[in-house]
Structure 1
Amino acid sequence: MAGAHVRLDNRLIHGQVTVAWTRRLGVRRLVVCNDEVAADELQRMLLPQAARGLPTDVLSVEATLAVGAGADTMIIAKHPEDVFRLVEGGLRPEVVNVGNVAPRPGAAYTMVARSVAVTADEADAYRKLAAAGVPLVTQLLPYDKPTDFVPLLDRKGL
């Protein structure tokens, strides 16, 4: 399964995604991919409303793999572990954009970019993705220059 745009953003659906990224990439469908979010009835109801009319599914990792995603789809994952499970299940993204990852409450983290906090466990998940041949970049907005992500982990000793 290849072709879908994959973004890591623990804010999930917000203006940067629904306006800037969807226009830039020609996205016509959003898939929020995270088991906990998919199990939350309120989030399943509210997230599609935040998508400004774009068809939106809120799915578990397993369900995301089952429905598939094409080149006009953006998969928005909440955590790097979600993306790693997608890759283990057969998803082959051209690139994963680590867009915005706010610190998890109570977790020890390191800021590796202005909008990306990384815990030791998350660093392991990012490195597993890279080892699986998945290119990782960080790019907050479409007009920002993408930055290779793994060297940022290296610089911070993660």
Structure 2
Amino acid sequence: MGVVLARVDQRLIHGLIVNQWAQALQIKRFMVIDDEVSQNEDIKASMRMSKPAGTGMSIINTEKAIHNFQNGNYDAQRVIVLVKEPAKLIELLDAGISIPKVNLGIIFAQDGRTPLTKFIALNDQEKKDIREIQSKGVPVAIQYIPTDPEVDVSKYL
């Protein structure tokens, strides 16, 4: 199966992902792709504690993620990809990784970002990156929890 959803969320792994998204999507692997976090053993250890029994978790850098996907390591699993910024998803798409849908979670109003919604703020580059993801045929929606209605991000761009 591979990737069933990619989510841009600065918190990466947290309660809503583990308790609601994973159940709604029947996730078997949490894939955190972040070049900095993948090098921090303390953060990785705390993230792994949230992993539900019967699921896998990978906290890896972009290069390793692309390599593993291209080798088919996750083809038989239902994977949720978690990244902090949309540019990371462009790297995956450009490498030929199939992403059926992108969901925007929490993106904090800091570092020059302008609030779009209660939970999402984007800077100009992130808006451009989202448009590029959409231009590759991948829908991008705002949906905080699985029971919320999906809202096409184009409404805010």
**Partner of residue 145, structure 2:** 141
- Structure 1: which amino acid aligns with 2:102? V
SS in 2 for 1:113: coil
Q: How does 1:23-62 map to 2 (within 5 A)?
A: 23-53=23-53, 54-62=55-63
Change (3 A) 1:122 1:5: same
Distance 1:7 1:91 in 2: 15
Given that residues 2 and 91 in structure 1 are in contact (C-alpha distance below 8 angstroms), is that contact kept between their aligned partners in structure 2? no
Q: CA deviation at 1:21?
A: 0.4
SS in 1 for 2:49: helix
**Partner of residue 19, structure 1:** 19
Given that residues 95 and 136 in structure 1 are in contact (C-alpha distance below 8 angstroms), is that contact kept between their aligned partners in structure 2? yes
- Structure 2: which amino acid aligns with 1:96? V
Does 1:132 find its partner at 2:136? yes
Name structure 1 gaps, 5 residues minimum.
154-158
Given that residues 31 and 57 in structure 1 are in contact (C-alpha distance below 8 angstroms), is that contact kept between their aligned partners in structure 2? yes
SS in 1 for 2:58: strand
- Deviation digits for residues 3-48 of structure 1, max 9, x if unmatched? 4321111101111000000000000110101111112222222211
3-12 or 21-30, which moves further after superposition? 3-12
- Structure 2: which amino acid aligns with 1:150? S
Equivalent residues, number: 151
TM-score by length of 2: 0.88
- Structure 2: which amino acid aligns with 1:4? V
- Structure 2: which amino acid aligns with 1:15? G
Give the superposed CA RMSD. 1.7
Given that residues 3 and 80 in structure 2 are in contact (C-alpha distance below 8 angstroms), is that contact kept between their aligned partners in structure 1? no
Name structure 2 gaps, 5 residues minimum.
none
Does 1:74 find its partner at 2:75? no
- Structure 2: which amino acid aligns with 1:139? Q
SS in 2 for 1:13: coil
Q: CA deviation at 1:74?
A: 0.8
Change (3 A) 1:2 1:72: closer
Q: CA deviation at 1:132?
A: 1.8
Given that residues 48 and 55 in structure 1 are in contact (C-alpha distance below 8 angstroms), is that contact kept between their aligned partners in structure 2? no
